[in-house]
Structure 1
Amino acid sequence: MIQTYEHLRQALVGAHPTLPGRLRQIAEYALAHPDDMALETIAVLSERSEVSPSGMVRFARALGFSGFTEMQKSFREGLLHHMPDYRARIHAARSASSSEQGTPRLQSFVEAGIASLQHLGESESILQLNAAVDLLVASERIHVAAQRRSFPVASYLAYALGHLGRPAHLLDGVGGMFGEQGRNLQERDVLLAISFPPYAQEVVALVEDVASRGIVVIALTDSPVSPIHAAAKVAFEVLELEVAGFRSLSASMCLALGLVVSLGERLEQVR
Structure 2
Amino acid sequence: MVEPEIDGAAHTAVVDSLARDQRNQGAPPAVEGALVRVRALLPEFTGALRRVAERVLAEPAAASRATIVELAERSGTSPATVTRFCRALGFDGYADLRLGIAAETGRARSAGWTIDIGREIQPGDPLERVLGQIMAADTRAMHDTAALLDLHEVERAAAAIASAPRVNIFGASGSALVGEEMQFSLHRIGVPVWAWNDVHNGLASAALSRAGDVALGVSHSGETRETIEMLAEASSRGATTIALTSFPRSPLAELADVVLLTATQATTFRPDALSARHPQLVVLDLLYVAVAQRTHERSHAAFQRTAQAVHGHKAVDAEGEK
Please give the TM-score of this superposition, normalised by the length of structure 1: 0.70
1-side partners of 2:256 and 2:59: how far apart?
Answer: 28
Over the residues paired in the alignment, what is the CA RMSD in angstroms?
4.1
Say yes or no: does 1:163 pair with 2:185: no
Say yes or no: does 1:236 pair with 2:274: no
2-side partners of 1:140 and 1:191: how far apart?
Answer: 11
Change over 3 Å in CA distance of 1:242–1:189 after alignment to 2:
same
Which one of 251, 254, 258 corresponds to residue 279 of structure 2? Answer: 251
Which one of 67, 74, 78 corresponds to residue 100 of structure 2? Answer: 78
Q: Secondary structure at the match of 2:254?
A: coil
Match of 1:260 in 2: 288
> Structure 2 unaligned runs (5+)?
1-14, 22-42, 64-74, 86-92, 300-322
Match of 1:13 in 2: 18
Change over 3 Å in CA distance of 1:242–1:181 after alignment to 2:
same
2-side partners of 1:101 and 1:258: how far apart?
Answer: 37
Q: How far has the Cα of 1:260 moved from its partner?
A: 1.2
Say yes or no: does 1:199 pair with 2:223: yes
Q: How far has the Cα of 1:193 moved from its partner?
A: 1.1
Q: State the identity %.
A: 16
> 1:1-271, aligned counterparts within 5 Å?
11=16, 13-14=18-19, 23=46, 35-36=57-58, 38=60, 57=77, 61=81, 64=84, 76-81=98-103, 85-86=107-108, 90-95=113-118, 97-98=119-120, 100-103=122-125, 104=127, 105-173=130-198, 176-197=200-221, 199-244=223-268, 245-246=270-271, 247-268=275-296
For 2:151, give the aligned amino acid: I
1-side partners of 2:19 and 2:262: how far apart?
Answer: 20
For 1:93, give the aligned amino acid: D
8 Å CA contact retained: 1:171, 1:182: no
For 1:192, give the aligned amino acid: L
8 Å CA contact retained: 2:160, 2:214: yes
Q: Secondary structure at the match of 2:295?
A: helix
For 1:94, give the aligned amino acid: I
Query: Number of residues paired by the alignment?
Result: 240
For 2:184, give the aligned amino acid: Y
| Higher radius of gyration, 1 or 2 | 2
8 Å CA contact retained: 2:210, 2:238: no
2-side partners of 1:183 and 1:83: how far apart?
Answer: 47
